[in-house]
Amino acid sequence: MNKPTSILFIITGLLALLLGIFFGAISALQFILPGFFEVLPFFKSRPLHVSLVVAWIFSAAVGGIYYYLPNHCNLPLYSKQLPRIHFALFILTGLLIIISYMLGKFGGREYWEFPPVLAIPIIMGWVLFGFNYFKTVMKKKEPWPVYLWMWATGVFFFLFTFSESYLWLLPYFRNNVIRELTVQWKSYGALVGSWNMLVYGTAIFVMEKLSNDKTVALSRLSFLMYFLGLTNLMFGWAHHIYIVPSAPWIRHFAYFISMTELLILGKLIWNFSHTIKQAKDTYGNIASRFMAAADVWIFINLILALLISIPAINIYTHGTHITVAHAMGSTIGINTMILLSSCFYIIEQTNKATGSGPNNKLIGWGFWIVNSCLLVFFISLVAAGIIKGYYTVENELSFQEIMQKTAPALTVFVATGLGIFAGMLLIVLSALRKLFR
Amino acid sequence: MSLLHKRLFFWSLFIAFGIYTVVVFTDDAGDDMGAEYFTQEAANGKLLYQKYNCTACHQLYGLGGYMGPDLTNVMSANGRGEFIVRAFLKSGTQKMPNFNLTDDEINDLVAYLSYVDKSGISPVRDFSINADGTVEVFSNGAKE
Ligand code: HEM
C-alpha cells in the first residue's frame, strides 16, 4: 500500500475507533452480566477500550494536521521522512500496549494503564511530530490563523502534561496520596485540554474550508476564545479533585476558572439561530453534518460540565456515572464528531480527483443511529449517576444496593451503547472503503 | 489582535502556569493527614494497587473506574474493615477477580488502604453548602 502517512494515521485511527468501541461494548456488558467474556475481564477490557478510543482521537487529529499543512496551508512539511518514523513508532507502541493489557501487565494509572516504559516511544513520537510541526509552520510569513496556534499549543502541552503524569515514578510524588492525586489530575486535566486544542483547532480549520471564510480564524473573537481555552487548560483541572483534601485555594481557583466557560456557553446561545440555519443549508454535505452534530453536543456537554464544576453539585455527582457521561459525552459527541467531519472532508478532497463520493445513504443512517443512541446513552448515564449520588450521600445505602438501583439505567446504557457501535460500523466502514481505494 | 498582544497574552499565561505548577508541586506537602501511617508496607501496597490495576474497577477519592466501590475509607467504614478487606483480596467475588495474592501482598495492600483511609474522606457526607456554591466539609465527625 502506497498511501501518504497522513492517510495511514487516519486509517489506523478509524480502525482503533472500531476496535475501541468493541471493547467498550464488552466492558459495558460486563457491568450487567457478571462473568461475561471471562477471557477478557473488566480490568483488561476497560483499558483496552479507553486507550484505543484515545488513540483514535490522537491519530485522527495528527493525521489531519499532517494532511492539511502541505495540502491546504501551503506549508510543505519540513521533513517527509519523520512522519513515517512517527507512524512506525505509533503502531509499534500501540501493539505493545494491546499485548501488555491482554497479558495483564499494567502500569495501573487511569487512562495510561500500560507499563511506564511504553511512555518512552510515545514521547519520542510526539517529539518528532512537534519538531516537524514547528519547523514547518515557522516558515509561514503571514499572521498565523488561530488553528496554527491551537495545534502548536496542543503539541507542546501534550508533551508537558504527559511527562508530568509520570512524576509518580518519583517517591516524592507517589508516597503522599494527596500530592499524588493532585499532580495526577493536574496533568490529566491539562492533557485533555491539550487534545481538545488539537481537535478544536481541526474544527476551526475544517469550518474555514467548508465556509470559505478566511476571516474567522484570524478574528479577535477566535483568539479571545483560544486564550480562554488555554486559561482553562492551565488552571481549570482541580474541578476533578474537589473532594481531595488538597489546599482549599487550589479548588476555589479552579471553580472560578471553570465558570469562565459560561462565556463560551453565552457565545453558543448568541449564535444559535445562525448555527441552525447553517446546518440546514449545508445538510447535504457529510463533513458539515458531523460538524453541526458536534455543535449540538458542545452545547449539551458544556451545560453538564458547568453544572458538575459547581462544588455543591459535584459533591453528589463526583465518583458516579455522571463523570462517565461527561467523559464519553464529550469524547464521542464533540471530539469524535469533529474528527469524523475532518475525515470526510479529507475523503471528499481525495475523491474529487477520482470523482466518486462516499456512500451517503449508509453514512446518513449511521449518523442518525449514532446521534440518537448517544443521546439516550448520555441520559441513562446521567440518570445512573443521579441515583448513585443521591443514595450514596443522602441514604448511605451499601454499594450492592445502589448498584441494584442503577441497574435499569445501566441496561439502557448498554443497549444504546450497542446501538452506537452499530451506527459507527456503518460510518467507519464507509469511510475506510473510500480511504483504501 | 496584534501579534504583540497575542505574544503578551500567551507568555503571561505561560509564566503564571509555570509558577502555579511549582506551587502545586510543593504546596500540599504538609496536608497529608495520614503521613504517620505511611509505612514501607504501604509504599509497596501502592505499587501493587497499580500492578493489579485495581483502579480499573475502584475509586480512591471518587477517581477511577466504576464497577466496584470507592475504597478510600473501606478500612474504617461501618460494616467494613480489615477482616472484610482481607476476605475480598483472598478470594475475589463474581465481579472481582481472584488475583491469587500472596500473604505479603495482601498485607501490603491492607497497609496502603489503611494509610489512604487516614488521609481524608470519600464520599463526603457531612457538609454544608454555601450560597456561592462552595462546600464546607466537616472533619471526620458524624453529622450533628
Ligand atoms: C467513540 C466512542 C467512545 C469514546 C470516545 C469513549 C470514551 C471513553 C472514555 C474516555 C472513558 C473513561 C471514562 C471515565 O473514566 O470517566 C470511557 C469509559 C467507558 N466506556 Fe466508552 N467511549 C466510547 C464508546 C463507548 C461505547 C459505545 C460503550 C458501550 C457499549 C462504552 C462503554 C464504556 C464503559 C463501560 C466505560 C467504563 C466506565 C467505568 O469506568 O465504569 N464506550 N469511554
Q: Please, what is the Cα angle at A23 between A18 and A29, to 5 degrees?
A: 125
Q: Is B69 in the pocket of ligand 1 (CB under 6 A)?
A: no
Is B71's pLDDT higher than 90? yes
Separation CA A347–CA A358 (nearest Å): 8
Q: How far apart are CA A54 and CA A50, in angstroms?
A: 6
Q: Which pLDDT score is estimated for A355?
A: 52
- Which of A35, A42, A177 lies closest to B32 in CB terms? A177
**Amino acid at residue number B103:** D
Q: Would you call A245 helix, strand, or coil by DSSP?
A: coil
Return the SS3 of B135: strand
Chain A interface test: which of B15, B24, B51 (most A C-beta within 10 Å): B24
Listed residue (B77, B143, B119, B63) closest to A394, CA to CA: B143
Q: Please give the Cα distance from B28 to B30 (Å, whole number).
A: 6
Q: What residues of chain A lie within 8 A of the CB of B32, using their CB?
A: 176-179
Q: Please give the pLDDT value at position A354.
A: 57
Whether residue A205 contacts residue A68, with contact meaning beta carbons closer than 8 Å, is answered with yes
pLDDT digits (tens, 9 = 90+) for B26-38: 876 556 788 888 9
Pick from A44, A312, A393: CB nearest B133: A312
At B143 the pLDDT is: 32
**Residue pLDDT, tens place only, B9-66:** 999 999 999 999 999 998 765 567 888 889 999 999 999 999 999 999 999 999 999 9
CATH no. for B35-119 = 1.10.760.10
Q: What is the pTM of this model?
A: 0.95
**Alpha-carbon gap, residue A341 to A338, rounded angstroms:** 5
Residue of A260, A358, A364, A249 lying closest to A305 (CA atoms): A260
- Separation between Cα atoms, residue B95 and residue A387, nearest integer Å: 21
Cα torsion A34, B81, B62, B25: sign: negative
Q: How far apart are CA A337 and CA A433, in angstroms?
A: 19
Pick from A142, A436, A195, A162: nearest CA to A330: A195
CA distances in angstroms from A64 to A8, A233, A317, A426, listed in the order given: 10, 22, 36, 21
For residues A59 and A91, what is the distance between their CA atoms, to the nearest angstrom? 10
Which pLDDT score is estimated for A264?
Answer: 84
Number of H helices, E strands in chain B: 4, 4
What's the distance, CA A39 to chain centroid?
28
Give per-residue burial for A119-138: e unless 16+ CB within 10 Å, then b: bebbeebbebbbebbeebbe
Number of H helices and E strands in chain A, helices first, is 17, 0
Other Cβ atoms less than 10 A from the Cβ of B22: the count is 10
Torsion-angle region of B59 (φ positive above 0: left; ψ -120 to 50: alpha; else: beta): beta
Return d(Cα A13, Cα A17) in angstroms, integer. Answer: 6
With a cut of 70, which residues of chain A have pLDDT below it? 1-2, 353-359
User: Is B28 in contact with A320 (Cβ distance < 8 A)?
Assistant: no
Do residue B97 and residue A318 have CB atoms under 8 angstroms apart? no
pLDDT score of A407: 95
Q: Where are the domains of chain B?
A: 1-30, 35-119
